[in-house]
Amino acid sequence: METLITLLVGVLVMVAVYLLLSRNFVRIILGTAILSHAIHLLILTMGGLKKGGAPLLTEEGSTYSDALPQALILTAIVISFAVTAFLLVLAYRIYRETGADNLDDVRREFDD
Amino acid sequence: MTNALVMPVLIPLLTAIVLTFFRNSFILQRTLSFIATASSAGIGVYLLLRIQSEGILRLDFGGWEPPYGILFVGDSFALLLVTAAATVTSIILLYAFSTIGEAFEKMYVYPFMLFLLAGVNGSFLTGDVFNLFVCFEVMLLASYALLILGGRKVQLVEAFTYITINVLASWFFLLAIAYLYGATGTLNMAQLAERVAENGQGPVLTVISLIFLLVFSLKAGLLLYFWLPGSYSAPPAAIAALFGALLTKVGIYALIRMFTLVFHHSPEITQSIIGIMAALTLIGGSIGALSSNDIRQIIAYNVVIAVGFILVGLAAGNELALQGSIYYVLHDMVAKAMLFLAGGLMISLTGKAKIGELSGLIRNYPALGWLFFIVMLSLTGIPPFSGFIGKVLLGEGLIEADTYVLLTLAFLSSLFVLYSLLRVFLNCFMGEAIIGSEEQVVLKKRTLLPIVMLGILTLAIGLGADAIAPFVNDAASTLVNPQTYIEAVLDKEALLKQ
């Protein structure tokens, strides 16, 4: 199971890198969003994946899942949400100011 | 256990939240924000004195004892930086009061500055790697907002690059945290240090440490500084000064903390890579500072040179070199803020930013000219200013570690700092005055006051080096002996029982 998820993380990172390397604002933002999800999955996998184990509620238990990675992911998702929202608004604002939706056009406008 | 430890984070944070409700009362905004930063600085000093008598302080949130809860750890290194950051921020706020303008004040510039300070102080004080990530994000989100305030085209476009590169670095940070958790099963810095020391720093951990190195280098501007000059020269002087004084220092702090506390077991790999990166940063920063004609760019490249200079001390890794680095970080916070404010004032008074377009300013604004001269001497390391003691100790440390190449590069870079700033001084302040006394913009005393205060501060650190020596020595000895830190965090109960 862990191997499978790790492969999935790899594919997601690949997609994210492809999107990040393009020059279109929306693609770059989608790239960062997908990269964040890839890493959330990785954190979950690093805690170990177990079938049907609840987090440790009392002091003993035979199978239990680690609750810490889930807490970390929850925090990271909130941050990722905030940053993505900020970037989307910024991209829209740049579009309103310059009429450009990619880095090439913006740079060209500067050089003029 | 002391609750005062959370105050340098809590005071700016709560004040910022309260201030968002009083958008239009500028007097309240100014008074409260200044009180918040000044009192954070005061608490920093108080905690420093307590550490001298009681040793490293810690605060376990919710009473969860380490390694289970999140905690704040205050050692001398962290609190020296907290105090310096809060002091410099309050002086920059004074400058902002008279220059930033109503449009910015309406758009919450003071709350954002306070959020930034809260994030910076949180990063210095935290004892948990994931908490470090969260504090970084608090600081970065505030910096994103500050960077685009005003909404000029150049700011928006530079902000997009800055945010994208920082978001990418943040996800790499999280990636490193995930791997670290998978490899060691803990994120508490002291327990990490203990486990890495017990089980040895194998190849896997060394690779993880290099991911951390990559992330913090991006934030600090160590070699990966290509985003820095553009984004630091886009915003108004007060905000650029805040960035130049604080943001890169957090990356430097994180590098020094992680590589002295946790990943110090294979110095032949990590420290030599840091050394090479610092050397290349010094060279690249010097070339950048000489190649530009724009005052803002020259100043921004000076930030890069300082980052390289400070981290040369980490590459050497002995106590003397680290003492030098700590002195130099403190000095650099003050001097860089002063340089950004003085440079920003030159540009806002004349409306020109290229050194060829300015001349003879010393006839128009003699005080500003001499203050620029002072900051130049201070950054070069001329006694009695604050840069001197840091450079001497760092030099001694580098000789002790037999790293002569780094020594040469570090001290050559001081000459390039001098040359690049002297070029600004000679071109802009000396020569024929081109602005007549009738048409010159009046320089208000209260605009100049913050720069004078920073000037006094750099002189005070230089002359009073003996007074802060106990704190710096304690900070450096904790860095060199990570066992002190580990024991303070993990075994305090056991020590109390004895």
**Long-range contact set of residues B50-54: C-beta below 8 Å, sequence gap at least 24:** B50/B2, B50/B4, B51/B75, B51/B76, B51/B79, B51/B471, B51/B474, B52/B76, B52/B470, B52/B471, B52/B474
Lowest pLDDT segment from B77-81, B153-157, B272-276, B285-289: B153-157
Tell me what pLDDT residue B494 has: 52
In this predicted structure, what is the pLDDT of residue B498? 44
Q: Over the stretch B225-244, which tens digit does the pLDDT of each residue have?
A: 999 998 898 899 999 999 99
Q: Assess if residue B31 is contained within a domain.
A: no
> Structural domain of residue B434, as residue ranges?
266-463
Q: How many domains does chain B have?
A: 1
A88 touches B: beta carbon within 8 Å: no
Q: What is the mean predicted confidence (pLDDT) over B261-289?
A: 93
The region that residue B223 occupies, defined by phi over 0 for left and psi between -120 and 50 for alpha, beta otherwise, is left
Mean pLDDT value across chain B:
92
B44: pLDDT strictly greater than 90:
yes
H helices of A21-102, where? 25-46, 68-98
Distance, in Å, from the CA atom of B461 to the CA atom of B322, rounded to the nearest integer, reads: 17
All residues of chain A having their beta carbon less than 8 Å from the beta carbon of residue B157 are: 94, 98, 106-107, 110
Q: Per residue, what are the HEC states of chain B?
A: CCHHHHHHHHHHHHHHHHHCCCCCCHHHHHHHHHHHHHHHHHHHHHHHHHHHHHCCEEEEHHHCCCCCCCEEEECHHHHHHHHHHHHHHHHHHHHHHHHCCHHHHHCCHHHHHHHHHHHHHHHHHECEHHHHHHHHHHHHHHHHHHHHCCCCHHHHHHHHHHHHHHHHHHHHHHHHHHHHHHHHCCCEHHHHHHHHHHHCCCHHHHHHHHHHHHHHHHHHCCCCCCCHHHHHHCCCHHHHHHHHHHHHHHHHHHHHHHHHHCCCCCHHHHHHHHHHHHHHHHHHHHHHHHHCCEHHHHHHHHHHHHHHHHHHHHHHCCHHHHHHHHHHHHHHHHHHHHHHHHHHHHHHHHCCCEHHHCCCHHHHCHHHHHHHHHHHHHHHCCCCCCHHHHHHHHHHHHHHCCCHHHHHHHHHHHHHHHHHHHHHHHHHHCCCCCCCCCCCCCCCHHHHHHHHHHHHHHHHHHHCHHHHHHHHHHHHHHHHCHHHHHHHHHCHHHHHHC
A76 contacts B168? CB cut-off 8 A: no
Q: Is some CB atom of chain B closer than 8 A to the CB atom of A18?
A: no
Chain A CB within 8 Å of residue B61 CB: no
Asked if residue B358 is part of any domain, the answer here is yes
In this predicted structure, the answer to whether residue B12 has a pLDDT above a threshold of 50 is: yes
Count how many pairs of residues, chain A against chain B, have C-beta atoms within 8 Å.
Answer: 82
Asked if the model's pLDDT at residue B393 lies above 50, the reply is yes
What is the pTM assigned to this prediction?
Answer: 0.95
The answer on pLDDT for B399 being more than 90 is: yes
Mean pLDDT on B146-162? 90
DSSP structural state of residue A60: -
Please tell me which residue of chain A has the smallest CA distance to B173.
Answer: A39
Split chain A (112 residues) into runs of 10 and give each run's mean pLDDT.
92 96 93 95 87 70 79 94 95 89 78 62
Nearest CB to B130; choose among A42, A72, A109: A72
Q: Do the domain assignments include residue B374?
A: yes
ipTM of the complex: 0.93
> Contacts of residue A73 in chain B, CB cutoff 8 Å?
none
Please report whether residue B73 resides in a domain: no
The domains found in chain A, sorted by start residue, are 2-51+64-111 (1.10.287.3510)
* Residue B354, in any domain of the structure: yes
Asked if A50 reaches chain B (Cβ–Cβ under 8 Å), the answer is no
The answer to whether the CB atoms of A46 and B178 lie below 8 A apart is yes
Of B137, B148, B153, nearest to A98 by CB-CB distance is B153
B245-265 mean pLDDT: 94
The partner residue sitting opposite B181, judged by closest CB among A46, A90, A103, is: A46
B window 335-374, beta carbon within 8 A of A: none
Q: How many Å lie between the alpha carbon of A36 and the closest alpha carbon of chain B?
A: 6
pLDDT at B497 over 60: no
Q: Name the minimum distance, in Å, from the CA of A39 to any CA of chain B.
A: 6
- Whether residue A46 and residue B160 make contact (CB cut-off 8 A), yes or no, is no
Pick the more confident residue, B463 or B431.
B463
- Look up residue B425 and give its two tokens: 């001084």
Chain B residues with CB under 8 Å of A103 CB are 160
CB-CB: which of A42, A82, A90 is closest to B178?
A: A42
Residue B157 and residue A106: Cβ atoms within 8 Å?
A: yes
pLDDT of residue B64: 84
CB contact under 8 A, A25 and B160: yes
Q: What is the pLDDT of residues B68-112, one digit of tens each?
A: 889 999 999 999 999 999 999 999 999 999 998 889 999 999 999
- In sequence order, the 6+-apart residues with CB closer than 8 A to the CB of B420 are B286, B289, B290, B298, B301, B302
Residue B496 pLDDT exceeds 60: no
Mean pLDDT of B347-376: 90
CA B427 to the chain's CA centroid: 29
B-chain residues near A76 (CB < 8 A): 133, 174
The nearest alpha carbon in chain A to B187 belongs to A68
Cβ distance A39 to B174 less than 8 Å, yes or no, reads yes
Under an 8 A CB cutoff, do B181 and A39 touch?
Answer: no
Tell me if B382 is assigned to some domain.
Answer: yes
What is the structure's pLDDT at B1? 64
Summarize the confidence of residues B270-278 as an average pLDDT.
94
Could you tell me if residue B335 is inside a domain? yes
Q: A87 contacts in B (CB within 8 Å)?
A: 160, 163-164, 167
Whether residue B286 is contained in a domain is answered as: yes
Cβ–Cβ below 8 Å for A72 and B177: yes
Residue of B141, B171, B181 lying closest to A36 (CB–CB): B171
| Partner A contacted by B153 (CB < 8 A) | yes
Residue range B151-159: average pLDDT?
88
- Please list every residue in chain B whose beta carbon sits closer than 8 Å to the beta carbon of residue A22: none
Asked if B176 has any chain A CB less than 8 Å from its own CB, the reply is no
**pLDDT for B313-361, tens place per residue?**
999 989 999 999 999 999 999 999 999 999 999 999 888 888 888 888 8
Is A91 in contact with B160 (Cβ distance < 8 A)? yes
- Residues in A closer than 8 angstroms to B156, CB to CB, are 90, 93-94, 97
A49 touches chain B (CB under 8 A): no
